[in-house]
Amino acid sequence: MSVDEPFRIDGRRALVTGANTGIGQACALSLAERGAHVVAAGRSSCDETVRRIEAAGGSAEAVHLDLADPAAAAARLAGFGMLDILVNNAGIIRRADAVDHGEEDWDAVLDVNLKAVFLLSQAFARAALARGAGGRIVNIASVLTFQGGIRVPAYTASKHGVAGLTKALANEWAKDGITVNAVAPGYVVTNNTAALRDDPQRSAEILERIPAGRWGEPSDIGGAVAFLCLPAAGYVTGTVLSVDGGWLAR
C-alpha cells in the first residue's frame, strides 16, 4: 500500500445532498479532489458544482432531489446507481420566537433535516447490505446539536436528532462495514447564516466568542467530511466531529 492510499477514494461514488452551494458544494469538491465520482444532488441546480469539479479534473454529475418529500427522495436513490458514500448535508432553517413558531415550519424543518437523513441512510444501507459491501455515511449536524440556540426550536431539535440517529445507525451497521458519523459545523459563511451575519450586533457577539477569530468557510467543513470517507478513517464510527473554530470549547 502506498502512503497515499489511505487518503484516496478513487473509483468510489458519493452522493451529496444540497450540493448546489455552501457546505454541500464544498463537500462535493473535497470528495472529488480525493478521487470520488460525485453525484451532486439538490432541489436547485447543481450544474455549477459539477462545472467546478470537472474544471479541476474531477468527475461528477448533477441530479434533482427535493428532500421536502423524504420518502420520494429516498425511493430515487436506486436510480443513481451504486453508491459507496452518502453525505446528508441538505438542511433548512426557520427563525421565529418559540411562541410564534408555526407547526407547518416545524414539520418542514424536521422533514428535511431529520426524516430525510434517516430515510436516505436506510435506502443507502439496504443497497449496500444487499450487495455485501460496506459504505460511509456522513451527516451534517451543527453546534446546535449541543446547544439550544436562539429562535430556532425546530432546527435545534432536528440537529439534536441527527446526533442520536448517527449513533444509533453506527451501532447497527458497524459490523457490516458501514460507518456512520456526523460533522457539526460552527458558524460558517453560508446562506443559512446570512441573517446572523447581516445583523451587526449578533455577528459581533458570535465572532467575539470564536477562539479562531473568524467565521468558518465551507471548505473547512468539506475537508472534515472527506476525511471521514477515507480509508484512513475506517475505524471511526458513531462520532460527531465539531468543526467550529473552538466555539464549543469556549
Average pLDDT per consecutive 10 residues, the chain (250 residues; last block may be shorter): 76 97 98 98 98 98 97 95 97 96 98 98 97 97 96 97 98 98 96 88 94 96 98 97 97
Q: Answer yes or no: is 249 within a domain.
A: no
Q: Answer yes or no: is 124 within a domain.
A: yes
Q: Answer yes or no: is 105 within a domain.
A: yes
Identity (one letter) of the amino acid at 48?
Answer: E
Query: For residue 87, what is the domain's CATH number?
Result: 3.40.50.720
Terminus-to-terminus CA distance in the chain, angstroms? Answer: 41
Q: Answer yes or no: is 247 within a domain.
A: no
Collect all residues with Cβ–Cβ distance below 8 Å to 80 and sequence separation of at least 6: 15, 39, 41, 63
Q: What are phi and psi of 199, to 5 degrees?
A: -100, 105
Q: Answer yes or no: is 250 within a domain.
A: no
CA 87 from chain centre, in angstroms, equals 5
* Catalytic choice (49, 116, 144, 155): 155
Residue 196: predicted pLDDT:
86
Residue 36: predicted pLDDT:
98
Q: Determine the 3-state secondary structure of 140 from DSSP.
A: strand
Owning domain of residue 82: 5-241
Q: Answer yes or no: is 172 within a domain.
A: yes
Residue 5: predicted pLDDT:
79
Collect all residues with Cβ–Cβ distance below 8 Å to 116 and sequence separation of at least 6: 17, 67, 70, 73, 74, 88, 90
Residue 2: predicted pLDDT:
56
Q: Answer yes or no: is 248 within a domain.
A: no
Residue with grid cell 436547485, as numbered in its chain: 44
Residue 238: predicted pLDDT:
98
Beta bridge partners of 37: 13, 59
Nearest to 236 by CA among 226, 244, 222: 226
Beta bridge partners of 240: 182
Residue 187 annotated in active site = no
Residue 222: predicted pLDDT:
98
Domain count for the chain, please give it: 1
Q: Answer yes or no: is 121 within a domain.
A: yes
Residue 34: predicted pLDDT:
97
pTM of the model: 0.96
